[in-house]
Chains A and B, each alone.
Chain A
Amino acid sequence: MSVSGLRKGGVTLTALGLIGLVVIYWLSFFWVSTEIRQGIVQRIFYVHVPAAWTTGLAFGIAALTSAMYLWLRDERLDRAAVSAAEGGMVFGAIMLTTGPLWGKIAWGTYWTWEPRLTLTLLLWFIFLGYFMVRSATDNPEKGKRFAAVVAIVGALDIPFIHLSVIWFRSLHPAPVVIKPEGPSLPGDMLTLLLASFAVFTVLFFGLFLLRYALETVRVELDARAREVAA
């Protein structure tokens, strides 16, 4: 796909996503019923949980495309990886900030070593390393390979981190925790949550396309600069 096509698609999806986000906000203020036990603060879930899903999706795409990049050496795979990883950083930051805002009311503390919270924090730092490695290499090809290795090892380590943080918690029970999940979510709450999932996913792919287009322009410009220099 051409850069202008990518950009057009990105702008369309992003605009759709932003409109969807406004609708979600409106619905969550005016339409959805309030959860009895947690009250108003439960509304944070309509952005927190979809942000968590998007973070996972983004880092998953980044790890997968990184592995495929090392295998096939197609430049487009690396562009997709870096675009998705950046999206994961943004949505991960959303998840890591909105989570404690909810936790302060529901748990009485901003931070607990709750397994999923810990896992996201570590994932975020693994991908911080991904970007630091990329920017700290003089040879861009080398940076791409190094970053891909970081993403793959990070992905392989995730099951171990997940198991270990759960293990740790079972040894040191956290203070009273109101479990957020419950499969029997009332109808309108479930509808809004699913709608929000869709909106965040659309928003992510819109932004992803924009970032991909940007990376494409940058790579082309770098190649041209190298030609001029040569």
Chain B
Amino acid sequence: MNLMKKITVGFLSGVLLLTGYSALGGQEMTNLPVGGALAVQSLKPYWHVFIAYAIVLVAVLGWVISMGRRLSALETRLGDSAEHQ
């Protein structure tokens, strides 16, 4: 759910940034050799940013979950050995 929310936020922010770009474009485009370069690559960079940010969350949460599973396995073992005695 957290991830869904984040993707929504990210998407909305993407739209916002795009409009911001076109507003600023008039001044900044003069620095670029090709005026339409940013418009052409449009959405692809957003996807890359979203995927990268998602990877961070997945990796960190994945590690937490893996530690949790290992801990619960240990606790089962602890329970077994307690029964044993």
Contacts and interface: CB of A to CB of B under 8 A. Distances in A.
Q: Within 8 Å by CB, do A and B touch in the complex?
A: yes
Contact of A43 (B6, B49, B59, B70): B49
Given A47-B53, A104-B48, A105-B44, A93 B64 contact: no
Given A39-B41, A39-B45, A221-B77, A26 B63 contact: no
Interface in A185-230: 203, 207, 210-211, 214, 217-218, 221, 224-225, 228
- Among B16, B52, B55, B77, max chain A CB count under 10 A is at B52
6 contacts: A34-B17, A39-B45, A40-B17, A44-B49, A101-B52, A102-B52
Interface of A: 14, 18, 21-22, 25-26, 29-30, 34, 36, 39-41, 43-44, 47-48, 51, 86-87, 90-91, 93-94, 97-98, 101-102, 104-105, 203, 207, 210-211, 214, 217-218, 221, 224-225, 228
A207 B63 contact: yes
A39 B38 contact: yes
Contacts of B49: 40-41, 43-44, 101
Contacts, number: 98
Contacts of B45: 39-41, 105
Summarize B's interface: helix, strand, loop or mixed: helix
B52 A48 contact: yes
A41 B30 CA distance: 20
- Among B9, B59, B71, max chain A CB count under 10 A is at B59
A39 B74 CA distance: 48
Contacts of B16: 30
A228 B81 contact: yes
Contacts of B84: 228
Contacts of B52: 44, 47-48, 97-98, 101-102
A210 B67 contact: yes
Contact of A90 (B13, B14, B31, B59): B59
